[in-house]
A and B are shown apart, each in its own frame.
Chain A
């Protein structure tokens, strides 16, 4: 697979995504409270924390699904705090969902083609007339989608199956393929190993590294499986009750007293 990166080259290690004191309130409830996270270019960064810590809410703000109540989000030098989700996707941020959200009535291949939407140009009139460039675009996208599905390990005979009828593991693959279809520079994975057995988790962990290397991606993931988190991440941010309680390399976070308390409870 080839990667076209439209954005200007950035120095490795400088942040591709930066959240500055981002908060989200639902009514009186503060779900995320002034959280700042830097995601260095080319890295794999994890966000961990107990259930209800605000991890997914934080993700939803990064991708524009939620508008943050305060704070600033910068992607690749551009302030995206107030941008719509589709604009952010076009800038190069793609995501998957904690509870898989494929388009159930579409085939695996079609799901991936939809993921390519923002890189296609055909509009209403182009589609009706079906000009030569529209045909060419369709053909190229189909081929590319098939390539992407093979890349995540789906068997060709599954391409034309409805995504609803695929097994859980394969649905996860299709979801990652759909996210990759938009040529992202930053990939957000929301609990990608949920519901997987240890071997599958281990394979996916390796696959994350492979993706990062092959596609020059930066990966930000939410994860519960500590083996995955400690194995794959270069940096970890820990959230609890909407606040950032720790940040750093896996080894440091593992030893952090507040993190242990958040996960195991305070010793009296």
Chain B
């Protein structure tokens, strides 16, 4: 086993050495091209493309959560709250839900005359992002003085609070109108309209695909830029040692709340998109299980590793929405067993996670730093002669 691993490592190093320095860029361009061509290879209502739309939405969720958990090291178990708030932002601002209001901003066609609040789709996405960023900062406040497991408990409770509010929404009236549709959901949402693309519909899901594809690219861009910035370093410093970080001049409150807010904003935008795509904002969806599902993507891919998280999210979403229900569902039946694979969905997940955690605890594509930790020799510099000179000051020399 160890020999095999050493051999693989050797090959990898050999391959990496032979690749030109621009290969990551080339790979990224290839992948983007592949992503752009993919829906053209299938029919406009193909179920696989439908799955990929969901998978890309989960990539966005996972990238958002990765900022909070991976970069800043704040274990957030209530991420579903931002899915819910983003979805509701879409439901409230893009449907006839608040039927007493008549607000129309940059909407097209018949939507322009309907009662309710109807904003342009892109405008709603921006509003959802801002709204959830604000909510994220608020949920961050009570966790500021907490560490580790305690943050997990507070955020978990926050997720549950939002869920219960969503469920009880029909009883909560503002201006005589219910806040949410509870388990019946908010339906009749506006189909998005973009100039040049037209009205989105379920008869051709390609525009949906391209929309979320672009959203994911934007998310990736922001993630990479922020990770390699002053703010990204501050998050990692806080994650590594909070006391040292504040002593080095990093403002604790600001920095942590920015992590919560940015992570929440991506969750909210993805939530709004998902609300638009499924056309139903149903309180029954906002389960604790969602938070765990997204967290599993982050951990499976590699905490703090942007590309790892993308792979983790694509993998788990495809297994969950495509491989198990569509491809292998009848496998046990074909083997003469009396159950469907979907019955075992959760246990299959558990099993996969256990395997990955045992074989690759650092995740599928570990963060660069974690990789360094594992590959770099420990205390390499100790092997060299111990340096007793401090900046050219030799022992015995006297500085006046």
- Overall SS of chain A's interface: helix
The stretch from B144-152, B250-258, B338-346 touching chain A is B250-258
| A23-31, A101-109, A219-227, A256-264 - the one binding chain B | A101-109
Q: Report A-chain residues with C-beta under 8 Å of the C-beta of B249.
A: 85-86, 89-90, 115, 117-118, 182
By the criterion CB–CB under 8 Å, are B390 and A173 in contact? yes
Is the beta-carbon distance between A199 and B381 smaller than 8 angstroms?
A: no
With a CB–CB cut-off of 8 A, which chain B residues contact A152?
390-391
Q: Tell me if A203 and B390 are in contact (CB < 8 A).
A: yes
Q: Does residue A268 face the partner (Cβ distance < 8 Å to B)?
A: no
Known: A124-B258, A127-B229, A128-B225. A207 touches B369 (CB 8 A): no
| Interface mask (A138-175 → B, CB under 8 Å = 1, otherwise 0) | 10000000000011110100100110111101100100
* Cβ-based interface call for A81 (8 A): no
B233–A114 CB distance below 8 A: yes
Judge if B226 is at the interface, Cβ distance under 8 Å.
yes
Question: Would you call A65 and B233 a contact (CB within 8 A)?
Answer: no
- Contact between A89 and B247 (Cβ–Cβ < 8 Å)? yes
Q: Taking the nearest CB of chain A, how far is it from the CB of B269, in angstroms?
A: 15
Interchain nearest-CB distance for B315 vs A (Å): 25
Residues of A within 8 Å of B400, CB to CB, are 209, 213
**B280 at interface (Cβ–Cβ under 8 A)?**
no
Q: Which of A85, A134, A170 has the most CB of B within 10 A?
A: A85
Q: How far does the alpha carbon of A173 sit from the alpha carbon of B391 in the complex, in Å? A: 10
Residue of B nearest to A210 (CB): B399
Contacting A at CB under 8 A, from B214-233, are 221-222, 225-226, 229-233
Interface residue? A84 (CB, 8 A): yes
Contacting residues, chain B, for A113 (C-beta < 8 A): 233
Is A230 part of the binding interface, using a Cβ–Cβ cutoff of 8 Å? no
- Chain A contacts for B222, CB-based, 8 A: 128
Given contacts A97-B247, A182-B249, 7 further A-B contacts (CB under 8 A): A85-B247, A118-B248, A124-B231, A127-B225, A127-B230, A199-B395, A202-B396
Instruction: List 8 interface pairs A-B (beta carbons < 8 Å), by A numbering.
Output: A103-B237, A114-B250, A122-B231, A124-B258, A170-B381, A203-B393, A209-B399, A213-B400
